Copies of this chain bind each other. A is one copy, B any other.
């Protein structure tokens, strides 16, 4: 349920957003883009949640993998539709993961 990633360093894209009230086509496009992202070379994982604010954090091998995904033509079209229809505002941050730590409750 939580994305599992290799040892750092790797990279992350943090996408936070506020939606418009236009839901037409949004869920299908979001699902489609997540599936497409998972197929990209250098994709490592993804966590996503929305309650008011939406947060999608994706993990990538290196900046070149992020750049290739940014230039993917289907992704470009989806982003254009997003600005026209589904998003009121968003912030996108690209960061290099330097340290990571996981914990799971003992059985």
Q: A51 with B53: in contact, given A91-B101, A102-B90 (CB under 8 Å)?
A: no
Partner of A91, one of B14, B48, B52, B100: B100
Q: A105 with B93: in contact, given A18-B1, A47-B53, A47-B55 (CB under 8 Å)?
A: no
**A55 and B52 contact, CB distance less than 8 A:** no
- Residue numbers of A with Cβ under 8 A of B are 1-5, 8, 12, 14, 16-18, 20, 47-55, 57, 83, 87-105
Closest to A95 in B: B95
**B100 and A94 contact, CB distance less than 8 A:** yes
**A105 and B91 contact, CB distance less than 8 A:** no
Q: What 5 new A-B contacts, CB under 8 Å, besides A1-B18, A48-B55, A83-B105?
A: A1-B89, A2-B18, A5-B93, A87-B103, A92-B100
